[in-house]
Structure 1
Amino acid sequence: MSVKFGTDGWRAVIAEEFTFTNVERVAQAAADYWAAHPVPGTEKKVIVGFDRRFLSDQFAHRAAEVFAGNGFAVVLTPEPTPTPSVSFAVKGRRAVGGVMLTASHNPPIFNGFKLKSHYGGSSDAATCQAVESFLDRNPVKAITGSPLPSDGRGARGESSPDTRSPTPNSPITLADVRPAHYAALKKLVDFKLIAKSRLRFAHEALFGVGAGCFEQLLARTTCKVTTLNAQHDVLFGGINPEPIEKNYARSSAFLKKHPHDICLVTDGDADRVGGMDGRGNYLSTHQLICLLLHHLVVNRQGRGRVVKALTTTSMVDKMCAACGLELVETGVGFKYIAAEMLKGGVLLGAEESGGIGFPGHIPERDGIAAGLMLLEMLATERISVNKLVANLEKRFGPHCYGRLDTHFPLEKRAALMEFLQKNPP
């Protein structure tokens, strides 16, 4: 069965193409690639994480056993974990690469295999294509009997009575990689300012792995956090865990009855951000990107190149022109933005879907980091988010955005992409 990598790894329907056999094949291909292309300054180590989707913990465990069978030391998260936490661990622990079992914001029937490179970001197109070329070159090699993670609800795989207990001399180590990531986030923003701001905000977790992240980060501060839809539900409450308006009905209704200063939204694996104002009115990802750019330039006195995907609002273009900032436009997929961030000198990287990256961090979209930066903005400005949006529109004009999703058969995708490249809309 063919496996094709897209903009951020491989994604397929669970039990149709996304099977244990295919996960093993892709893990073996990644192991073969990383073994053939060692990176100076890194260790023969792979970080493996997973989200809350059906069987994600089991798929992650199977992938970890394949990497271990190929002589890699493996750090496996013990429970569902945000993608940016896994990416941060890849860089921080000097791993040659990482894998995140997630389909991010896609429908519940999907799962995915995201590749992360040693720098702590999405692997570029060349790396993904190279890994794909290693498929089935070698038979799958895997160990067995290694410690299993938890799906986050107390469930365990069928192994020993306590499957999280360390196995002597096992090349697989269970480790929570979130604390190191969260500690870095507190240094990325003015955390003391946020901590004393008395902000009262909601967090729409969309049933994803971001649930509880802001409560943990802002514990013992003056901020009050209300987390909505935090429960583990592999069906994501009947929605796709994507930060778009139609998925906010539950939290919007709550906010209309219980106003807050702002509502932050994270997607299924917490690498994207969305939002609403404190009364449940929609804030587009484009508005959030522009608010953050304004904050970085005006309040933080930041300078540098601004990198945006071509689907991102033209208000960014006008803001860059007004501020004398170089604007770089890329194709769709954060890996293209990450490539620019790796060159250095980037002030902000952003894409229409809510993926946002910051300098001084990892070259990766991080929904939790973006959420904290929005809180820093509110703590600095001390005016409502609606007023901040109105100020931008007064200066740069109102901007509108709409999106229609259309599904095309996979077998026609290559021809369609070629046609659109030659005949852009």
Structure 2
Amino acid sequence: MPDYSVKTVQTKAFQDQRPGTSGLRKRVPVFKQEHYTENFVQSILSSIPGGPEKSTLVVGGDGRYYSPEVIQKIVQIAAGNGVSKLIIGRDGIFSTPAVSHEIRARKATGGILLTASHNPGGPNADFGIKYNMDNGGPAPESVTEAIFEFSKTIKEYKLVELPEVDLSKLGSSKSGPLEIEVIDAIKPYVAFLKEIFDFDAIKSYVHSPEVSVLFDGLSGVTGPYARDIFVNELGLPESSIQNCEPSPDFNGGHPDPNLTYAHSLVQVVEEKKITFGAASDGDGDRNMIYGAGAFVTPSDSVAIIADWADCIPYFKKGGVKGLARSMPTSTALDRVAKAKGVEHFEVPTGWKFFGNLMDAGRLSICGEESFGTGSDHVREKDGLWAIVAWLNILASAHDKGIKGIKGLLLDHYKKYGRTFFSRYDYEEVDSDAAAKVIKELESAFASSDFVGSSLSATSSSTSFKVAETGNFTYTDPIDKSVSKNQGLYVTFEDGSRFVVRLSGTGSQGATIRLYVEKYSKDEAEYERDTQEGLKPLIEVALKTSKLVEHTGRKEPTVIT
């Protein structure tokens, strides 16, 4: 009879395991260090509120390189810590929003997600582990700090040496003291989307003679979900989806759905004049909406979804309780909220801040400019939810004579005005150089004559008068927690603004994000190119921060 006794393994602590906004992200060779992954998994289990004993955890991820091996480690350490049951997606494949849904539907204790989201995968690329709570959302700072504190002093971890679990075989089984249930992670989530949206209306719309559809999975986790939605449920041909086989290295690509990295979608949409194109990222929580000649910024996307929410059965039945956006996201959503008389919030970057508002019944629809959009149906941003929401809205708009993505955008601008918005990403910048950019702005803000001064663009006569500056601080209206240093901003008298912040989603160096925004009610500008419309403001932002001088980067890595 096998010996399933608990084994205690002596270890050494690592000092670099502080989880960021979306868990711990490092390069694969870092996670492969002896004890490194085991330490962090033990730190998670030891920090679960109420303890790991008799808990039920949902486990899975985006299928990136090193995921299968880590799942087997989680099984053994979970068994060593008295976990009662693991619910694992078949082959370890489980989109982030689907994990959130499964935690909530099963009333599970929480979930361990293996993903680095939109970051590249492969033997020398990124890996990530994060913990989600019983509400299905990312762990709050109180828990991530507890995980970090535990990781700094850990001396041992516990495991049960078990045979490898066959992750391809559906069903329940016992693995030592642990119950393992391997599930089809696609069907329950797609069934849930069918409860939220009007699939009959969507099906009618996508089969209209003038409508064509293309979804690009970027070789990430959403491929199997998209095939079930677009091919099986909506009856579209296999040619309506591409790059829908999950790959450990995302087929050598960068699974980030933006105009730079989703070029495989943009190229085909333009060549074939596709009416509706969409892409999702590595773990399925981000989205991009793009039709021939019409790109939807994430800021406009969440505003339009909020404006048309009453055509979606979920909101038609339950109403819209509130709207929210991350601070760097454009103010387009605010104008919809004011027009509809709905409460709205501005929160720091990080989906967990939306979760508190949702759990309190004060938030229904929200979004981040980093291609994340979602609602209170789960506690994560949800790429496929946003894509199907757009199809539901386009079907409704089509019935009202508004044609396609471009028609919907122009209709929105005529109602609310246009918010020109763009983000410049400078990836893997030297950390010291990035810190100098922040200090440059802080020094400018400290000057007594900065507010009220006029900042001029070098290539034109345009100037902007400074109305307000600051470093965004958020007091959570639910738990009263305070989050400081969430992004430096300069707001001008005409309503334009720029924001600079350091991102916590990378695994190496620093990523500087520069956000620029300009509002216009001039209809002559509604079809203007975004970058052209923002050029003077971008010049002012770069000049004020001395970003090029401090980093040596004359061009951003990505413009969205």
Question: Structure 2-normalised TM-score?
Answer: 0.67
Alignment of 1:33 with 2:84, yes or no, is no
User: Once structures 1 and 2 are overlaid, which stretch shifts more, 283-292 or 264-273?
Assistant: 283-292
2:243 corresponds to which of 229, 233, 254: 229
Alignment of 1:195 with 2:200, yes or no, is no
Structure-1 residue corresponding to 2:527? none
Instruction: After TM superposition, list the pairs within 5 Å mapping 1:102-181 onto structure 2.
Output: 102-108=115-121, 109-135=125-151, 136-137=153-154, 139-148=156-165, 166=173, 169=176, 171=178, 172-181=180-189
Contact 1:341-1:349 within 8 A present in 2 as well:
no
Alignment of 1:306 with 2:327, yes or no, is no
Contact 2:22-2:130 within 8 A present in 1 as well:
yes
Structure-2 residue corresponding to 1:401? 421
Alignment of 1:54 with 2:68, yes or no, is no
User: Structure 1 residues 129, 174: CA separation in 2 closer, same or farther (over 3 Å shift)?
Assistant: same
Structure-1 residue corresponding to 2:411? 391
Q: What is the CA RMSD across the aligned residues, in angstroms?
A: 2.9
User: Structure 1 residues 65, 178: CA separation in 2 closer, same or farther (over 3 Å shift)?
Assistant: farther
SS in 1 for 2:273: coil
The whole-number CA distance in structure 1 between the counterparts of 2:320 and 2:308 is: 12
Contact 2:18-2:144 within 8 A present in 1 as well:
no
SS in 2 for 1:6: coil
User: Structure 1 residues 231, 223: CA separation in 2 closer, same or farther (over 3 Å shift)?
Assistant: closer
User: Structure 1 residues 149, 269: CA separation in 2 closer, same or farther (over 3 Å shift)?
Assistant: farther
Alignment of 1:262 with 2:276, yes or no, is yes
Contact 2:170-2:183 within 8 A present in 1 as well:
no
Contact 2:278-2:287 within 8 A present in 1 as well:
yes
1:381 corresponds to which of 368, 393, 397: 397
Structure-2 residue corresponding to 1:96? 109
User: Structure 1 residues 372, 29: CA separation in 2 closer, same or farther (over 3 Å shift)?
Assistant: same
The whole-number CA distance in structure 2 between the counterparts of 1:411 and 1:27 is: 31
User: Structure 1 residues 404, 198: CA separation in 2 closer, same or farther (over 3 Å shift)?
Assistant: closer
SS in 2 for 1:77: strand
User: Structure 1 residues 391, 173: CA separation in 2 closer, same or farther (over 3 Å shift)?
Assistant: same
Question: Structure 1-normalised TM-score?
Answer: 0.87
1:424 corresponds to which of 468, 488, 491: 488
Structure-1 residue corresponding to 2:21? 7
5+ residue gaps, structure 1: 153-161
SS in 1 for 2:213: strand
Which one has more relative contact order, counting CA pairs under 8 Å at least 6 apart? 1
User: Structure 1 residues 38, 4: CA separation in 2 closer, same or farther (over 3 Å shift)?
Assistant: closer
Shift of 1:389: 0.5
2:216 corresponds to which of 200, 204, 208: 204
SS in 2 for 1:304: coil
Instruction: After TM superposition, list the pairs within 5 Å mapping 1:193-342 onto structure 2.
Output: 193-199=201-207, 200-218=212-230, 219-224=232-237, 226-277=240-291, 279=292, 281-297=294-310, 302-342=319-359
Q: How many residue pairs were aligned?
A: 410
Write the letter of the residue equivalent to 1:375. Answer: L
Structure-2 residue corresponding to 1:156? none
Shift of 1:408: 4.7
User: Structure 1 residues 49, 345: CA separation in 2 closer, same or farther (over 3 Å shift)?
Assistant: same
Shift of 1:280: 6.2
Shift of 1:223: 4.3
Contact 1:292-1:377 within 8 A present in 2 as well:
yes
The whole-number CA distance in structure 1 between the counterparts of 2:34 and 2:181 is: 21
Contact 1:65-1:144 within 8 A present in 2 as well:
yes
User: Once structures 1 and 2 are overlaid, which stretch shifts more, 347-356 or 188-197?
Assistant: 188-197
State the Cα deviation string for residues 9-55 of structure 1 (Å, max 9, x = none). Answer: 1111110356462221111111112264579xxx6111110212111
Shift of 1:237: 4.4
Contact 1:308-1:351 within 8 A present in 2 as well:
yes
Shift of 1:234: 3.3
Write the letter of the residue equivalent to 1:44. Answer: S
User: Structure 1 residues 371, 220: CA separation in 2 closer, same or farther (over 3 Å shift)?
Assistant: closer
The whole-number CA distance in structure 2 between the counterparts of 1:61 and 1:386 is: 48
Shift of 1:4: 1.2
SS in 2 for 1:95: coil
Alignment of 1:76 with 2:88, yes or no, is yes
Shift of 1:341: 1.1
State the identity as a percent: 22
Shift of 1:78: 2.3
SS in 1 for 2:109: strand
Structure with more strand by fraction: 2
The whole-number CA distance in structure 2 between the counterparts of 1:5 and 1:311 is: 22
Structure-2 residue corresponding to 1:369? 385
The whole-number CA distance in structure 1 between the counterparts of 2:79 and 2:351 is: 29
5+ residue gaps, structure 2: 1-13, 443-470, 472-484, 490-560
Contact 1:146-1:170 within 8 A present in 2 as well:
no
Shift of 1:102: 0.4
SS in 1 for 2:345: strand
SS in 2 for 1:31: helix
Contact 1:66-1:140 within 8 A present in 2 as well:
yes
The whole-number CA distance in structure 2 between the counterparts of 1:133 and 1:201 is: 48
